Amino acid sequence: MSKPVVLIAEELSPATLEALGPDFEIRNVDGADRSALLPALAGTSAVLIRSATKMDAEAIAAAPGLKVIARAGVGLDNVDIKAATNAGVMVVNAPTSNVISAAELAIAQLMALSRHIPDANASLKAGQWKRSQFTGVELYEKTIGIIGLGRIGTLVAQRLAGFGVSLIGYDPYVTQARAEQIGVELVDMDQMMKRADYITIHIPKTPETTGMISTDQFAIAKPNLRIVNCSRGGIIDEAALYAALKSGRIAGAGLDVFVNEPPKDSPLLELSNILVTPHLGASTDEAQEKAGISVARSVRLALAGDLVPDAVNVAGGVIDPSVKPGIALAEKLGQIVAGLSHTSIVAVEFEARGEIAAHDVTVLKLAALKGLFQAMVTEQVSYVNAPLLAEQRGVEVRLTQDSVSDEYRNVTTLKAVLSDGSVVSAGGTVIGPKHHQKVVSINGYDVELSMAENMVVMIYQDRPGIVAVYGKAFAEAGINIAAMTIARQQKGGKALSVITVDTEVSSEILESLRVEIQADVMQAISLTEGY
C-alpha cells in the first residue's frame, strides 16, 4: 500500500520533517512557482506552506485527494479557507508558534523607539559621534497601552511589568477580572489615546479593526505618544499616521506590518521618527521550528482521521481527554444511522449523556455527522465539510447534553428524523482502559454488543424460530456469526436482532431473509475507520 504524499512547498526546518516521520512520501516543490505547484499538487494528501505559496480555489481544485493544508505560521491570507471548506479540506496553522517572538519584537520596538537605537547605530557606523542628538526617554513610570489582551498581548503585559510601568488595556472581549490577573487596567479607546505614553497593538485585522486608529484618535493623543504595531497592517490608518508623525502630533511609531507588503513608495519610509522592520514578528529560529513541528503534528493527526485542535475551519478546539475516545464511536454511530435510514434525513440530534456532558462535545457531533454523510454523498466527507453538507441539504442539526446517565458512565446517541416522519437512532458507549466500543441502543431498543466491522440489523414480529431461520441462512452461505443480541420492548411485539458477522452479507441473502421472516427492517451495515 502506497504512502500518503505530503508536498513541502516552501523551506521548512529539518525538525519539521522529523516530526512528520517515516509514514509519508515527501515531495518538494517551489510553491511560489505557480507552473510547478499546480501539477505537483495532483495526488497529494497534504501540503505544507509558509507565506509565499497561494492555496486558492484553483490550487485546491488541482488536488482532488487533498485532505489538509498546513500553514507553518499564523497568518492565512494566502489560503482560500472557503474553497478549502467546500472541498472538505482541513486548514491548519500554528497559532501559538510565534507568540513569544512577536511579544519580544513589540518590546524591542518600544525600546528602540525610546532610545533611537537604529539611528544611533547608523550614525556611529557612518563615523559620527552625536550623543546629544540621540537623547531618549525611559519606560519607567510611563503609561503603556496594550490593544488586545490575547496570548501575545498578555505576554507583552507580563514582560513590561518588570519595567515599573502602568499598564492600561483595551479589549472588549476580556473581563475586568482577567485584566486584573495580568495587571492591566481596562479602558475604552478614547481613554487609551488620551492617557498612553506608548501603545502596542496585538489584535487581528477584521472589518471592525481596520483603520481603528486614525485621525480622530491621533487628535486626542499625547504629543509624546509612541505607537507600535506588530500585529497586522492596516489597523493603524497609514495616511493618518503619516500626517500625525509629519506634523509632530505624536512622537514616533514602530511598524513591523503594512497594508501593502513590501511597502514600496510608502511616504512613511521617508520619516525620521518611524522605525520599520520587514514583518519580523515570527522571524526567529525558535518560532520557525515551533511552527514547522506544530503543523507536522497536525498533518499526522489529520491524515489519521483525527480532529486537529489547530484546524481553523473546524468547530471545537482542544479536546478534553475524556471526550476524545468517543470520536471514533460517534463516527460509527453516524454510519449505523445512515445504514438504517430508508429515506432522506430532515433533522439530526446528537445527545451526550454522563460525565462527558460537562465538557465541550462539539467534536463528537462533527464525528457523527461525518459518519452519517460519508455513505450518503459522492464527495469526500470530512470533519470540515460535514456541517456544510448538512446545511446544504437542509438538515437541522441539534446538540444536547445531560449529565445524567442511568446505566453507563457515558452514552452518546445519534437520532435522525426522516422525511416520512419516522426516527432512526443508534447509541453507544466506550468502556475500560482500552476504550472498547459498544452499541447500547438501536431505534429505541436496548442492546449491548461490541462494535464490529460488519453488522446486520433486523426488526420483525417476535415469535419462535426466527433465530434458527437466519442462523441456517448464514451457515449455508458460509457466513460466521461472531456475536448477536436480541431485544424487545414488550412481549408479543416487535423484536430487534443485531448480529455481527465476519464477512459482508450479500443483498440477495438479506432480501431472501427479509421475505422469509417478514421483517420490517433487514439491513447490513459495514463500518469503516478513519478519514
**Which positions are annotated as active-site residues?**
232, 261, 279
- E strand or H helix that includes residue 157: helix 151-160
Cα separation, 183 vs 197, whole angstroms: 17
By C-alpha distance, which of 370, 497, 375 is closest to 439?
Answer: 497
The 3 state secondary structure assigned to 442-475 is ECCEEEEEECCCEEEEEEEECCCCHHHHHHHHHH
Cα separation, 367 vs 255, whole angstroms: 43
Find out whether 471 and 484 touch, Cβ atoms under 8 Å. Answer: no
Cell numbers found for residue 266: 510608502
Helices (H) then strands (E): counts for the chain: 17, 22
Strands (E), 72-190: 90-92, 143-147, 166-170, 185-186
The 3 state secondary structure assigned to 160-224 is HHHHCCEEEEECCCCCHHHHHHCCCEECCHHHHHHHCCEEEECCCCCCCCCCCECHHHHHCCCCC
Cα separation, 523 vs 520, whole angstroms: 10
How far is residue 174 CA from its own chain's centroid?
22
Find out whether 8 and 27 touch, Cβ atoms under 8 Å. Answer: yes
Q: Please count the CA atoms within 13 angstroms of the CA of 29 that sit on its side-chain side.
A: 24
Find out whether 273 and 251 touch, Cβ atoms under 8 Å. Answer: yes
What long-range pairs does 299-302 form, CB within 8 A, spacing at least 24?
Answer: 299/6, 299/20, 299/46, 299/48, 299/68, 299/70, 299/92, 300/19, 300/20, 300/21, 300/23, 302/46, 302/67, 302/68, 302/90, 302/92, 302/531
